[in-house]
Structure formats: structure tokens, C-alpha cells
Amino acid sequence: MDPRINVVEKRLEKVGRVIAVGGGKGGIGKSTIASLLALVLADSNQKVGLLDLDFTGASTHTILGIDDFHFPDEDKGIIPPKYHGISYITIANFTQDHVAPMRGLDITNAILEILAITRWDKLDYLIIDMPPGINDTTLDIIRLIKKIEFCIVTTPSKITTNVVKKSLELLEELNIQILGVIENMTFPATPYAKEVFEKCYLGTIPFDETYEHAIGDIDRLLDTVIVKTLRNLTELYDKMR
């Protein structure tokens, strides 16, 4: 057995909840919700970490306006640098934001290595931004992180709903803890996702025209409808307590 697997549990010992933001489908707002949820939690004095596991499409640094990439400090492992109160690890730390194409086994190895070497401090929450698809990354973190929970993102689109529904069914079959489903980029008169995901529906985040202009600017992000809505998703926080 790979000796790093045992180390992963130890490295996450001081982390309260590990929440992966996924959904299976691409472009539905996973990175947006992962980044802004981390920001909202840090802004309300929670100890929070953010781990971007989208190696080919890392986006959380763009959303949070982080561009001073450097190899994290080392001390018996690597210490996640802090930005806006968030302990943060992204592949961009190691590649200076250049593309990092990887095949299946390389992805598994990179995830294992990052989880085995990162020294997360005492955290209330570690938020993980997942890549699109139910693929190696999903299967690996399910295997490696015993306390993983999934916050699933969907949109009002029937196409998204159909894909996300299957991802959710798979996670349920595997007995993975589901925090719930957030419907993102809603607009008036698109109510059917609530019925489809009824039992674990957490609420909606509307399509926010101001978001694009706020990306990379923390003050403007904190003022977006997305953040304001996220702060008020009581169903979400009830389940996070």
C-alpha cells in the first residue's frame, strides 16, 4: 500500500469539516461557490481552508484575485499560504499558473502528494473545489478523505439537472455524506430543480450580472448578490453547524 495514504488522515486531523463542492457538470458555478463560501466563512471569523483540485482548470485564484504565486513555505510539510484569511492551496502555487496536463494516474499521484504534504492548521472547514465530471479526482478524494461531504451545485438547466442527479445518486450509493444541493444561476420561473432534488435542496443563488466585474476584487465580491445570498442560505448553515 502507498504509505502516503495513512499520512493523509493525520494531515486532516485538525480539520473539522471537509466539504467538496462538486456536481459533475462543467461550468455550473462550483469554483464560484467554493471560493465565495470560503470567503464568507473567513469573513465571519471561521477558520477556513480552500483546496483547489481542478488541476487543468484552476479558477479559485482568479475569483479571489490571487496572482503572487510562489512555492509554499516548508516546515515538516508545506504550509498553506493565507489570502484574505483563507489557508489556500492550488496547483497554481506549484506551476506559477501554467497549464498542468495530467493523465489519470498522475492526477491520483498529485492529489495524494498534496494531501500527504500539506499541513493544514486547525480549521473549522476545508472547502475543496472539484473539477467537472465524476472522475479520478472524485473517486480519489472519496477514497482518501473519510470525512468528506459533498455540497452539490446545479443550475436550472434540464441538461445540468440530469447530469447532476446521476452524480448525486452515485455518491448516495457510495454512502457519501451529502451536505445538500445549491441551485445556482437561477432566473425567474425555473422552479423544477427544487422538485428533483427535494430532499436535499438547500436553496438558490440567482444569476448575478455584477459578478463578472467583481471577480478578483474582494470588496466588490463581498457586495455581490451571490455573496449576500450565500450568507443568507440558512438551510446550508443549519447543516454546517
Ligand X SMILES: Nc1ncnc2c1ncn2[C@@H]1O[C@H](COP(=O)(O)OP(=O)(O)OP(=O)(O)O)[C@@H](O)[C@H]1O
181: left (phi over 0), alpha (psi -120 to 50) or beta: beta
Interacting stretch for Mg ion, rule CB under 5 A, among 51-59, 100-108, 117-125, 138-146?
51-59
Q: Is 57 near ligand X (CB under 6 A)?
A: yes
Q: Is 31 near Mg ion (CB under 5 A)?
A: yes
For residue 114, which of 159, 78, 158, 60 has the smallest C-alpha distance?
Answer: 78
Interacting stretch for Mg ion, rule CB under 5 A, among 14-22, 25-33, 75-83, 181-189?
25-33
Whether 123 contacts 14, CB under 8 Å: yes
Amino acid symbol at 232:
N
Question: Distance of CA 240 to CAs 69, 193, 211, 237, Å?
Answer: 31, 22, 25, 5
Q: At its nearest, how many Å lie between Mg ion and the CB of residue 208?
A: 17
Q: At its nearest, how many Å lie between ligand X and the CB of residue 85?
A: 21
How many other CB atoms are there within 10 angstroms of residue 147's CB atom?
A: 13
Q: Is 132 near ligand X (CB under 6 A)?
A: yes
Q: Is 39 near ligand X (CB under 6 A)?
A: no
Label the pairing between strands 15-22 and 123-129: parallel
Distance from C-alpha of 203 to C-alpha of 181, rounded to nearest angstrom = 7
Residue with cell 499560504: 81
Task: Rule CB under 6 A: choose which of 66, 107, 205, 233 binds ligand X.
Answer: 205
Interacting stretch for Mg ion, rule CB under 5 A, among 2-10, 26-34, 74-82, 87-95?
26-34
The entry of Mg ion, ligand X, none near residue 208 (CB within 5 to 8 angstroms by kind) is ligand X
Q: Is 226 near ligand X (CB under 6 A)?
A: yes
* Residues making contact with Mg ion (CB under 5 A): 30-31, 59
* Residues making contact with ligand X (CB under 6 A): 26-32, 54, 57, 59, 131-132, 184-185, 205, 207-208, 211-212, 226
